[in-house]
């Protein structure tokens, strides 16, 4: 029996996910996840990056359709095919990034968000409605201020007000406090909590911060690698329990045995390095560390804590604001001549975005490190396509890059094969002395992960100094010789995998 | 040293011979501009029809006026010469991802500096005069566009806006100089600089009316093509234009390469200005700003910024420009009608850009 969906419900409702599975190709983003969110509860969804939190809520919002499993609302299965369906069911979401139009006032932004916006807006009428709405709103923002003049905290309030104005009864918040100061975060979440307690709203919040889970939430669900690993009433858990559920306690053995070796001389030294985000906000402060020859130094942390900026500075994609990088006792500014003299190679995250030119061919992309020297360039000027192709053909075969030909644009390849092509370029010639790598296995299947790990450990065994930045603690514990934890742009903790205590690491990562 | 393990599992690829590859995308690159020009012709045809003229007769007349006889074809080629050079002013930075439309300004400045240099050494042998003029024109135009590059790389000023506005500055500068410091008092109706002596001008090729500027244009286009497609410098430019993050990761000096390209781009347009002075006008005056710069933008876009295609498209557009008069004489349509055609071609070409990769027929099978 099909019961028609309630259109625009007037009170919060029970929402339940039953064995929800979502695959992208062979990658399972959500593996049979179940979750129950009773009406009027404040529910936390936590997990590491890539654990499948965003995919899960996108299924609820209708951006994705689940491959298997059901979404139940008041015990009835509902199909949510688009965000508009979600809106009709009273489900709204506040995104990590602001969606306000900067040049418009708060009032205009609110009215604009309505799907049923009339062709001619009667502003007098709308303004009255807005004022009436604001009388009951949890927080007050001046309606006539342009969004561009609002502070981050106020913008986030407007984003939430927008959902309340749309009369969403089930609110999904995707890391709503990542752009807020702790006191702003407490204020916003506290006021939302009052609404929840008042029986006007259910909330599902994605967060990394245990403080928010324990301070505001009733219930919690933990995901790890797409699977449900634990959950229930928040009061039944301690922070350490949650850390263990998030990170997993079983350690996967390294794919290649590490040869015990004496620490070599310092190859890469980072001294008091500071860098800003694109917006000019400091992202990395006073990072100091040394990587020796034949050593893998890991950097653990939740994404957005300055790792990306650190790697960008090392890759020459971002200018540091202060501090210095020293490679083999020489000042290093990531210039082409320096990188080739010191044999500094990189495996960045998102290789298509960071390390490839999508419309250039696979062969040309593989030649990025050495196209300007012989044999690929003759007489220091003329490029030999033949030599470029020949160089690539060998590496394509050795690294099993699946491509129709070396002349195919690299943008046409699948993610794993792009990664292999970059790996072939950076590690293929076997000349690296310093290797900087960030989330090298993100989004790859297990076989590919193991072989990339094997390559990294093998490089270390032959004396390469490796800096490994990763959000996957298992990877770090398996590969690294030493380990730093980064939080809010600062290296806050140093340990070794042998001594590492996963709960302590979790605490540092979560910013405790 | 060899890495211990190549990635397990997958067999090595069978390499497919190069010729059979990617014919669809190659065809796409050729077919799209042609289709766009055809659409523009249909639109212009309907415009002519709305004015009560037979479109086929109009196209026939344009064709005849542009390519119909050796005499008219020479006329076309004379116009094509500066177009080849000004087109490079847009095409070279485009490969870097910059949209520079300061062609007219660089041409004018190049013409001015060339005139100044030519007048300064006018008593020297003809080869010396012409070399000095060419070098001065290239340096003048080159520095002009380098300024756009400096504004962009050092201060983040949008290169399209700054180069466009600099066109007006250049033209105002030209008018100031030919009305003031450089003015030949005998030029009454049309204020001009002193003339380059007739025997020091760029000569015509053999018996034809075509001057050596055409050779300059073709040689420079060839050099640009070799530079972009067959040198490691061109490879670096394509890397930067394709993905600036990857280029930075490879340690390329992005701003330095950008400034070099800006200089080369301006130098090409400056050389066009020198040719206009040394082969056509014989002096600097407002005729320098005759629109070859703006038409060069169109050529660059139609040719998709490729050096060899620029030569071909320049001849085509040169023909269209040469046929402006016929529309007035034969069809009593205003001279400017031909600009309507030119504008329509530009719009359809820009529109066709948005269709790349969207038409099913041109899709390559998945890799």
Does B94 touch chain A if contact means CB atoms closer than 8 Å? no
Mean pLDDT of all residues in B5-10? 38
- pTM of the model as a whole: 0.77
What does the alpha-carbon distance between residue B316 and residue B12 come to, in Å, rounded to a whole number? 48
Is residue A447's pLDDT more than 90?
A: no
- Number of Cβ pairs < 8 A linking chain A and chain B: 138
| A301: enclosing H helix or E strand | none
What does the alpha-carbon distance between residue A190 and residue B234 come to, in Å, rounded to a whole number? 58
Is residue A74's pLDDT more than 70?
A: yes
Q: What is the mean pLDDT of chain A?
A: 87
pLDDT tens-digit readout, B278-320? 999 999 999 999 889 999 999 999 888 998 999 999 999 999 8
Residue A445: predicted pLDDT: 63
Res. A444 pLDDT band, cuts 50 70 90:
low
Domains A15-98+169-247 and A264-343+434-445+465-512 share a fold: yes
Question: Chain A partners of B1 at a C-beta cutoff of 8 Å?
Answer: 430-431, 462
A199 burial level (CB within 10 Å; 0-12, 13-18, 19+)? exposed
Q: Are A167 and A137 in contact (CB under 8 A)?
A: no
Residue A186: predicted pLDDT: 84
Res. B365 pLDDT band, cuts 50 70 90:
low
What does the alpha-carbon distance between residue A47 and residue A223 come to, in Å, rounded to a whole number? 5
Please report, for chain B, the start and end positions of each structural domain, with discontinuous segments joined by +: 93-290, 293-348
- Across the interface, whether the CB atoms of A377 and B232 are under 8 A apart is answered yes
Question: Chain B partners of A431 at a C-beta cutoff of 8 Å?
Answer: 1
In A220-303, where does DSSP find H-type helix? Answer: 239-247
Q: What is the mean pLDDT of chain B?
A: 88
pLDDT tens-digit readout, B327-362? 888 888 888 888 888 889 889 988 888 887 777 777
Q: Are A230 and A37 in contact (CB under 8 A)?
A: no
Please tell me the class of the A264-343+434-445+465-512 domain.
alpha beta
Residue B11: predicted pLDDT: 37
What does the alpha-carbon distance between residue B283 and residue B278 come to, in Å, rounded to a whole number? 8
Is residue A303's pLDDT more than 80?
A: no
Does B3 touch chain A if contact means CB atoms closer than 8 Å? yes
pLDDT tens-digit readout, A85-135? 899 899 999 987 788 898 899 999 999 888 888 888 899 999 999 999 998
Does A390 touch chain B if contact means CB atoms closer than 8 Å? no
Residue A312: predicted pLDDT: 94
Q: How far is B118 from chain A (nearest CA, A)?
A: 33
- Across the interface, whether the CB atoms of A400 and B22 are under 8 A apart is answered no
Is residue B6's pLDDT more than 80?
A: no
Does A64 touch chain B if contact means CB atoms closer than 8 Å? no
What does the alpha-carbon distance between residue A485 and residue A475 come to, in Å, rounded to a whole number? 14
Kindly give, in sequence order, each residue whose CB lies less than 8 Å from that of residue A135, ignoring residues fewer than 6 positions away: none
Res. A4 pLDDT band, cuts 50 70 90:
low
**Three-state SS sequence of B106-152:** HHHHHHHHHHHHHHHCCCCCHHHHHHHHHHHHHHHHHHHHHHHHHHH
Q: How far is B208 from chain A (nearest CA, A)?
A: 36
DSSP state of B231: B
Res. A410 pLDDT band, cuts 50 70 90:
very high
Residue B14: predicted pLDDT: 39
Please report, for chain A, the start and end positions of each structural domain, with discontinuous segments joined by +: 15-98+169-247, 264-343+434-445+465-512, 351-431
The bridge status of strand A266-276 relative to strand A282-292 is antiparallel
Does B14 touch chain A if contact means CB atoms closer than 8 Å? no
What does the alpha-carbon distance between residue B42 and residue B141 come to, in Å, rounded to a whole number? 37
Residue A511: predicted pLDDT: 67
pLDDT tens-digit readout, B168-205? 999 999 999 999 888 998 888 889 999 999 999 999 88
Question: Chain A partners of B364 at a C-beta cutoff of 8 Å?
Answer: 412
pLDDT tens-digit readout, A123-165? 999 999 999 999 888 888 889 988 888 877 788 889 999 998 9
Is residue B18's pLDDT more than 50?
A: no
What CATH fold (topology level) applies to the domain A15-98+169-247?
Answer: Rossmann fold (3.40.50)
Mean pLDDT of all residues in B30-59? 91
CA distances from B167 to A278, B109, B173, B192, B294 (A): 32, 9, 10, 19, 10
Phi, psi (rounded to 5 degrees) for A168: -70, 135
Res. B32 pLDDT band, cuts 50 70 90:
confident
What does the alpha-carbon distance between residue B13 and residue A161 come to, in Å, rounded to a whole number? 56
Is residue B5's pLDDT more than 60?
A: no
Of the ranges A48-62, A253-267, B90-104, which is most confident?
Answer: B90-104
Is residue B167's pLDDT more than 50?
A: yes
A347 → chain B, closest CA residue: B249
Q: DSSP assignment of B71-109, as one string?
A: HHHHHHHHHHHHHHHHHHHHHHHHHHT-----HHHHHHH
pLDDT tens-digit readout, B93-133? 999 999 999 999 999 999 999 999 999 999 999 999 999 99
What does the alpha-carbon distance between residue B337 and residue A510 come to, in Å, rounded to a whole number? 69
B15 → chain A, closest CA residue: A405
- Across the interface, whether the CB atoms of B7 and A448 are under 8 A apart is answered yes
> A113-127, A177-191, A295-309, B261-275: lowest mean pLDDT where?
A177-191
Does A415 touch chain B if contact means CB atoms closer than 8 Å? no
Residue B257: predicted pLDDT: 97
Residue A49: predicted pLDDT: 67
Is residue A360's pLDDT more than 90?
A: yes
């Amino acid at each position: 029996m099909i019961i028609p969906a309630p259109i625009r419900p007037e009170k919060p409702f029970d929402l339940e996910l039953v064995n929800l599975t979502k695959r992208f190709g062979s990658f399972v983003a959500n593996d049979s996840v179940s979750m129950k969110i009773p009406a009027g509860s404040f529910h936390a969804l936590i997990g590491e990056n890539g654990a499948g939190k965003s995919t899960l809520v996108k299924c609820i919002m209708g951006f994705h359709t689940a491959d298997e499993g059901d979404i139940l609302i008041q015990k009835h299965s509902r199909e949510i095919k688009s965000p508009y369906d979600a809106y009709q069911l009273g489900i709204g979401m506040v995104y990590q990034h602001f969606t306000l139009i900067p040049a418009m006032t708060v009032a205009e932004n609110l009215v604009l968000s309505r799907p049923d916006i009339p062709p001619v807006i009667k502003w007098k009428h709308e303004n009255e409605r807005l004022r009436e709405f604001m009388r009951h709103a949890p927080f007050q923002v001046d309606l006539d201020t342009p969004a561009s003049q609002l502070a981050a905290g106020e913008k986030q309030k407007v984003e939430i007000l927008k959902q309340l104005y749309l009369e969403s009864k089930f609110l999904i918040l995707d890391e709503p406090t990542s752009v807020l100061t702790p006191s702003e975060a407490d204020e916003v979440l506290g006021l939302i909590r009052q609404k929840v307690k008042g029986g006007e709203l259910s909330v599902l919040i994605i967060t990394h911060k245990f403080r928010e889970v324990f301070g505001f939430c009733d219930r919690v669900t933990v995901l790890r690698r797409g699977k449900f690993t634990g959950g229930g009433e928040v009061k039944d858990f301690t922070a350490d329990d949650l850390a263990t559920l998030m990170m997993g306690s079983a350690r996967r053995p390294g794919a290649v045995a590490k040869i015990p070796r004496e620490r070599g001389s310092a190859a890469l030294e980072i001294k008091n390095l500071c860098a800003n985000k694109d917006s000019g906000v400091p992202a990395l402060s006073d990072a100091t560390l040394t990587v020796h020859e034949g050593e893998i130094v890991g950097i653990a942390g939740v994404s957005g804590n300055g790792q990306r900026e650190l790697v960008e500075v090392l890759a020459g994609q971002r200018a540091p604001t202060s501090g210095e990088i020293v490679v083999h006792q020489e000042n290093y500014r990531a210039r082409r001549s320096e990188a080739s003299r010191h044999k500094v190679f990189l495996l960045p995250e998102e290789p298509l975005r960071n390390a490839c030119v999508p419309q250039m061919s696979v062969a040309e992309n593989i030649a990025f490190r050495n196209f300007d020297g012989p044999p690929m360039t003759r007489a220091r000027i003329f490029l030999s396509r033949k030599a470029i192709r020949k160089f690539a053909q060998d590496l394509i075969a050795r690294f099993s890059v699946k491509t129709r030909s070396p002349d195919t644009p690299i943008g046409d390849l699948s993610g794993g094969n792009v990664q292999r092509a970059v790996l072939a370029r950076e590690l293929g010639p076997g000349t690296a002395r310093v290797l900087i790598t960030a989330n090298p296995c993100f989004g790859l299947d297990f076989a590919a992960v193991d072989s990339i790990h094997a390559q990294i450990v093998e490089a270390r065994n032959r004396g390469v100094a490796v800096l490994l930045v990763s959000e996957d603690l298992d990877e770090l514990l398996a590969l690294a010789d030493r380990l730093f934890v980064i939080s809010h742009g600062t290296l806050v903790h140093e340990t070794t995998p042998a001594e590492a205590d996963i709960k302590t690491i979790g605490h540092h990562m979560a910013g405790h | 040293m060899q890495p211990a393990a190549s990635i397990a599992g997958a067999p090595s690829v069978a390499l497919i011979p190069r010729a059979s590859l990617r014919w669809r995308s190659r065809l796409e690159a050729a077919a799209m501009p042609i289709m766009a020009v055809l659409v523009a012709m249909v639109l212009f045809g309907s415009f002519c029809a709305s004015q009560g003229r037979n479109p086929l007769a109009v196209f026939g007349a344009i064709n005849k006026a542009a390519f119909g006889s050796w005499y008219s074809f020479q006329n076309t080629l004379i116009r094509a010469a500066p177009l080849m050079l000004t087109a490079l002013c847009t095409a070279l930075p485009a490969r870097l991802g910059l949209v520079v439309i300061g062609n007219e300004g660089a041409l004018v400045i190049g013409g001015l500096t060339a005139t100044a240099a030519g007048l300064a050494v006018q008593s020297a042998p003809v080869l010396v005069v012409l070399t000095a003029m060419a070098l001065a024109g290239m340096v003048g135009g080159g520095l002009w566009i380098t300024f756009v590059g400096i504004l962009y790389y050092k201060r983040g000023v949008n290169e399209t806006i700054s180069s466009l506005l600099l066109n007006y500055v250049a033209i105002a500068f030209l008018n100031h100089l030919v009305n003031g410091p450089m003015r030949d008092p005998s030029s009454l109706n049309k204020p001009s600089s002193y003339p380059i002596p007739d025997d020091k001008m760029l000569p015509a090729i053999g018996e034809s009316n075509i001057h050596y500027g055409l050779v300059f244009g073709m040689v420079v286009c060839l050099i640009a093509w070799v530079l972009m497609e067959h040198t490691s410098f061109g490879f670096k430019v394509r890397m930067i234009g394709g993905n600036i993050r990857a280029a930075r990761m490879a340690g390329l000096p992005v701003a330095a390469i950008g400034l070099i390209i800006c200089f080369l781009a301006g130098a090409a347009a400056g050389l066009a200005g020198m040719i206009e002075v040394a082969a056509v006008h014989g002096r600097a005056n407002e005729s320098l700003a005759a629109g070859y710069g703006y038409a060069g933008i169109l050529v660059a876009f139609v040719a998709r910024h490729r050096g060899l295609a620029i030569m071909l498209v320049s001849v085509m557009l040169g023909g269209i420009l040469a046929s402006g008069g016929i529309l007035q004489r034969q069809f009593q349509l205003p001279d400017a009608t031909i600009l309507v055609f030119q504008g329509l071609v530009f719009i359809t070409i820009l529109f066709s850009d948005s269709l790349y990769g969207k038409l099913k027929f041109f899709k390559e099978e998945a890799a």
